[in-house]
Amino acid sequence: MIRFTFRRIVNGGLVMLGVIVIIFSLFNVLPADPARMMLGQRADSASVSIINRDLGLDQPIHIRFLIYLNDLSPLSIHSLSPGSHLFLNPAKYSSAKKLFQLSADKVLVIKAPYLRRSYQNKSEVSTILIERIPDTAILAFAAILLASIIGISLGIISALKKDTWIDRLALIISISGVSLPSFFASIIFAWLFGFLLSSYTGLNMTGGLTEVDPFKGEYLALKNLILPSLVLGFRPLAIIVQLTRSSMLEVLSQDYIRTGKAKGLSKGILIRKHALRNAMNPVVTAISGWLGSLLAGAVFVEYIFGWNGIGKLTVTALENYDLPVIMGIVLFISLVFIILNILADLLNGALDPRIRAFES
C-alpha cells in the first residue's frame, strides 16, 4: 500500500507540473498588457516600464517561467539583491522563512505558494481565494453529500426492485438530471421556489452564506444554501443513481453472491458486506470526480443565485481580464482534482486489493 500511495503522489505531482506549464503558456500568449491594466490606459511609458520590470515581463519567456515556478514552489531560491530578475526578493513574501544561505546574495526559503497580485485591486491572489474558497467548498460538499446519499440509496433500491415502478422512477430522475443544464435549472428553481412560492418556502432568489442585518449585524443564512445545492447536486445525483444501479446489478449476478445465498446468508448481509462494498469502486471514483467538477463548474449556479464563491469570482475576473486571479483559480481547481483523484485511487485500493496487486 505504501508503494501504491507513493506512485499515486508522484503521478499527481507530474500532472500538476504539466498543468502549470500549460497554464503559463496559454496566459503568456494572450494580448494583455498588465502594466496598462494596473495603471490605466493613460499611464506614461516610464511607469509602464517600471511595472513590467517589477513583474519580470521584460525578461525572455524561459526566465519568466522559472520565476513563475519559483513563485509557486514551497521551496524557493531568493536573491537578496534588489536588481535580480530571476529570483524575487523574499520581502515580497510575507510567509517566507529562511532555511539556509546558498551564497553571498542567495538564500533558500520555505513559503506558501505565491500566486501574484490582482491587476485590479492589487491584493494577493491567495488572499482573494482564501476569502472565496470556503463558500464554494461548503456549497460543493453540500451538493455532493446530498447527491451521494440520495443517489446511492435510489441506485440500490432500483437494482433490488429491477423493472418495477421504482426502477422506472429512478430512470426518469437520471435522464432528467443528465438532460437539464445547470444554468437553466438555476433560473427555474430560483423563480419557482425563491419567487413564486417564496411565501411558502421562505427561500430567497439570491443570497450568500452570510447576510447583514442592520440591527443584528452579520449572520449565517443557511437557508440560502438549499436551492443552489439542490441545483448543483442534481446532475451528479443522476449519474450516481445510474452507476450504483448498474454496478449493483453486475455484482448481484456474480457466483459468490449465489454461493452466499446457498449458504443461507440473509439478504441484508449479502448486500451490506459483499455486494455493496464491491459495487462502490466506480461510484467512489465518480463522486470524487464530481466533487472537483462542482468546485470548478459552479460558475453559473453561483452567479445566478448570487453565491459569493469562486464561480462568481471567475466571472468577475474574466470580465476584468484579471489574469493572475484566473490563473490562480485554474491552478487551485487543478490541484483539487489531482488530490481528489489520488484519494479516490487510495480508497479504491483499500476497498479492492486486486487494484493494488495489479499495480505491483
Report the half-sphere exposure of 301 (CA within 13 A, side-chain side).
29
Range with the poorest average pLDDT among 74-78, 132-136, 201-205: 74-78
Amino acid 311 reads G
Range with the poorest average pLDDT among 58-67, 72-81, 283-292, 344-353: 344-353
Domain termination site, one of 87, 110, 133:
110
Q: Are residue 301 and residue 163 in the same domain, yes or no?
A: yes
pLDDT tens, 309-349?
A: 888 888 888 887 788 888 888 888 888 888 878 887 777 66
pLDDT at 187 (0 to 100): 86
Of the pLDDT bands very low, low, confident and very high (cuts 50, 70, 90), residue 293 is confident
Rounded Cα distance, 84 and 93, in Å? 15
Q: Are residue 171 and residue 104 in the same domain, yes or no?
A: no
Q: Are residue 102 and residue 160 in the same domain, yes or no?
A: no
- Cα of first residue to Cα of last residue in the chain, in angstroms, is 10
What DSSP designation does 90 have?
G
Say if 248 falls within a structural domain: yes
| Listed ranges 83-97, 227-241, 269-283; the one with the highest mean pLDDT | 227-241
Q: Are residue 130 and residue 97 in the same domain, yes or no?
A: no
Say if 28 falls within a structural domain: no
pLDDT at 358 (0 to 100): 53
Query: Quick one: cell of 159?
Result: 437494482
Chain mean pLDDT for the chain? 77
pLDDT at 86 (0 to 100): 44
Domain termination site, one of 110, 141, 166:
110
pLDDT at 82 (0 to 100): 58
Of the pLDDT bands very low, low, confident and very high (cuts 50, 70, 90), residue 91 is very low
pLDDT tens, 14-52?
A: 888 888 888 888 777 766 666 666 666 666 677 667 666
Q: Are residue 139 and residue 69 in the same domain, yes or no?
A: no
Q: Are residue 97 and residue 166 in the same domain, yes or no?
A: no
Say if 10 falls within a structural domain: no
Share of the chain above pLDDT 90, in %: 0
274 pLDDT higher than 80: no
Give 57: exposed, middle or buried? Use CB within 10 Å, 0-12, 13-18, 19+.
middle
Rounded Cα distance, 296 and 236, in Å? 14
Q: Domain range spanning residue 105?
A: 33-110
Q: Are residue 106 and residue 164 in the same domain, yes or no?
A: no
Q: Are residue 67 and residue 96 in the same domain, yes or no?
A: yes
Q: Are residue 101 and residue 192 in the same domain, yes or no?
A: no
CA–CA distance from 69 to each of 186, 276, 332, 338, 340 (Å)? 39, 44, 15, 18, 23
Of the pLDDT bands very low, low, confident and very high (cuts 50, 70, 90), residue 10 is confident
Q: Are residue 89 and residue 238 in the same domain, yes or no?
A: no
Q: Are residue 328 and residue 213 in the same domain, yes or no?
A: yes
87 pLDDT higher than 50: no
195 pLDDT higher than 60: yes
Bridge partners of 98, per DSSP, are 109
Nearest Cα residue to 236 out of 325, 142, 302: 142
Range with the poorest average pLDDT among 13-22, 109-118, 317-326, 350-359: 350-359
Say if 143 falls within a structural domain: yes
pLDDT at 161 (0 to 100): 81
Q: Are residue 49 and residue 138 in the same domain, yes or no?
A: no
Higher pLDDT among residues 198 and 90, named by residue:
198
pLDDT at 96 (0 to 100): 67
pLDDT tens, 196-242?
A: 888 888 888 888 777 777 777 777 778 888 888 888 888 888 888 88
Range with the poorest average pLDDT among 182-196, 226-240, 267-281: 267-281
Q: Cell 532555511 belongs to which residue? A: 99
Share of the chain above pLDDT 70, in %: 80
What does the CA dihedral 191, 197, 200, 204 come to, rounded to 10 degrees? 20
Rounded Cα distance, 292 and 120, in Å? 28
Say if 352 falls within a structural domain: yes
Q: Cell 421562505 belongs to which residue? A: 202
Mean pLDDT of 246-253: 80
